[in-house]
Structure 1
Amino acid sequence: MTISADNGPYTKSTSPRRASEQPPIAQKLACLFALPVSALCLVLSAPMLFAGVASEQAELALRNWQRSDTPPSESYWNMSFQRAVSAVEQAPITNAEYLDRLGRVLLWGSLVAPEGARRETQRQGALQAFRQSVEARPVWPWTWLRLAYAKQALHQMDDEYDLAMRRTNELGAGRMELDSDLAALGFSAWSELTPSQRTITLEAANRSVAFSKKEALHMYNLAKATGLATPLCWSLGSAVKAEQQICKEEGSQ
């Protein structure tokens, strides 16, 4: 028996509406598979979210300390340290950025802590965090530079320190701020550097000088303050010195 014309020329048994009431088996299986996947995503996303928030709070603290150029209070540092640790621990996988941030917080902590075992412990902790970070992200020059800073602060001028300087120079050459910081690192430990490390230092200083007159003057004053104006000026070409108007006291023009 057919349905009246108002309902269309279909029988009750072949109505598309009735047929659609029974989803195909593939659709049922897809729904069953999607449920545990969705649950897993929720389980993983929660710690990722908490880790991201904690790490960003630590980053904001680091920026504030950098701008003020003074060590934070001990209570502020402790709070930031706990956030940095929480970010590393809650991340579902090894996160090189979070580890780098933890190392930076620990280096600031060594300025807050009094001289002694506690300061040494924080520097060691920073070194370990930077090691783990470069292992997870080996092509990021800033972490290699910070690894070198941590090694120098611990008076560990060994093969790992040499590797950190070389990797910083290889991966970061041409980044103005990094070149400036690498040169400053080398100038501050000049008497302990090997000939190749001094070459790296002067190469970074040369790139920094060539960047702008402002940066050239900054680098010259930094070298002069550490008694290294003459080596710096000898390493520069006459054209660069004339263009940037530095090294006049060393008779370079």
Structure 2
Amino acid sequence: MKFLYNKHNIIVLFVMVICLWGMYHGFRMGVADVLAYKAEYALKTWEKEKRLPNESEVGTAIINASSAVSWESANPEYMDLHAQVLLYKALLYWGDNKFDPISALSVELYQRSIKRRPNWPYTWARLALVKSYRREYDAVFYEALSNAVKLGPWEPGVHTTLAAAGLFGWSELNIESRRLVASNIHRGLRFSHSELASIIHRYRRKASVCGYVSVDEFSKSLCGW
């Protein structure tokens, strides 16, 4: 009886430990989710208003995003979010010596996120964008560009992000990559025509893009053929 009683106590204790672990893990996930939501809401606000945040706004968003990662360190979505916010901070220091180290952290976080979630096209596209802004048209950039197109050929967000990445560094790209960027834009015209046209106008690359795309109803409205 004593042996059975002790065995019963061990089982109860084991069940209690499992329950407590589950409660703690659920708590961590809940806290991380709330913090990530705050950072994501800020990002969406800046994107909707088409503006850069001020230092206070981006500082708060970075605290929330980095805290979400600290609570759930293996979550690739939070790493991606933190990287996005860091890029916004880096852009506040465009042309300043602070841009490089801040944007380098963004690159590092995107690469960590990709290791956890290698088939997510948006992270590849965002990695290509920050590499382009850093003017690093290397193997990492070309891999990001290629994988974003391959994994998200019909994703509107991938179309616009890669358009910005490719057109910003157009003069530095090889022929194959220019074709990849142009074909990505061409596919995206049926979903995000006005936004893509705006990006092309921003970088003054209408003639460049139109020289690579085939003639159809979507390219006609862009190129005026």
So what's the TM-score if we normalise by structure 1?
0.78
Q: What is the CA RMSD across the aligned residues, in angstroms?
A: 2.5
Query: Which residue pairs with 2:44 in the alignment?
Result: 63
Where in structure 2 are the equivalents of 1:23-172 lying within 5 Å?
30-91=11-72, 93-113=73-93, 115-172=95-152
User: Residue 158 of structure 2: which of 178, 195, 202 is its match?
Assistant: 178
- Are residues 172 and 115 of structure 1, via their aligned partners in 2, closer, same or farther at CA, if it must alter by over 3 Å? same
Which whole-Å CA distance do the structure 2 matches of 1:147 and 1:218 have between them? 20
CA contact (8 A) 1:176 1:207 kept: no
Give 1:144's aligned amino acid.
W
CA contact (8 A) 1:61 1:80 kept: yes
Distance apart, 1:29 and its partner CA: 6.0
CA contact (8 A) 1:206 1:235 kept: no
- Are residues 235 and 112 of structure 1, via their aligned partners in 2, closer, same or farther at CA, if it must alter by over 3 Å? closer
Query: Which residue pairs with 1:228 in the alignment?
Result: 205
- Are residues 77 and 221 of structure 1, via their aligned partners in 2, closer, same or farther at CA, if it must alter by over 3 Å? closer
Partner of 1:237: helix, strand, or coil? coil
Which whole-Å CA distance do the structure 2 matches of 1:58 and 1:225 have between them? 27
More displaced, 27-36 or 37-46?
27-36
- Are residues 172 and 90 of structure 1, via their aligned partners in 2, closer, same or farther at CA, if it must alter by over 3 Å? same
Distance apart, 1:121 and its partner CA: 1.6
Distance apart, 1:175 and its partner CA: 1.4
Distance apart, 1:24 and its partner CA: 9.8
Q: Which one scores higher on RCO, CA 8 angstroms, separation ≥ 6?
A: 2
CA contact (8 A) 1:190 1:198 kept: yes
Which whole-Å CA distance do the structure 2 matches of 1:84 and 1:159 have between them? 28
Partner of 2:98: helix, strand, or coil? helix
Which whole-Å CA distance do the structure 2 matches of 1:75 and 1:56 have between them? 18
CA offset digits 1:37-66 (Å, max 9, x no partner):
112112322222221211111111111111
Query: Which residue pairs with 2:217 in the alignment?
Result: 240
Residue ranges of structure 1 left out of the alignment (5+ in a row):
1-22
Number of aligned residue pairs: give it.
222
- Are residues 36 and 118 of structure 1, via their aligned partners in 2, closer, same or farther at CA, if it must alter by over 3 Å? same
Partner of 2:216: helix, strand, or coil? helix
Which whole-Å CA distance do the structure 2 matches of 1:246 and 1:163 have between them? 28
Residue ranges of structure 2 left out of the alignment (5+ in a row):
none
CA contact (8 A) 2:128 2:141 kept: yes
Q: Provide the identity percentage.
A: 23
Partner of 1:70: helix, strand, or coil? coil
- Are residues 136 and 162 of structure 1, via their aligned partners in 2, closer, same or farther at CA, if it must alter by over 3 Å? same
CA contact (8 A) 2:36 2:68 kept: yes
- Are residues 124 and 25 of structure 1, via their aligned partners in 2, closer, same or farther at CA, if it must alter by over 3 Å? same
- Are residues 240 and 61 of structure 1, via their aligned partners in 2, closer, same or farther at CA, if it must alter by over 3 Å? same
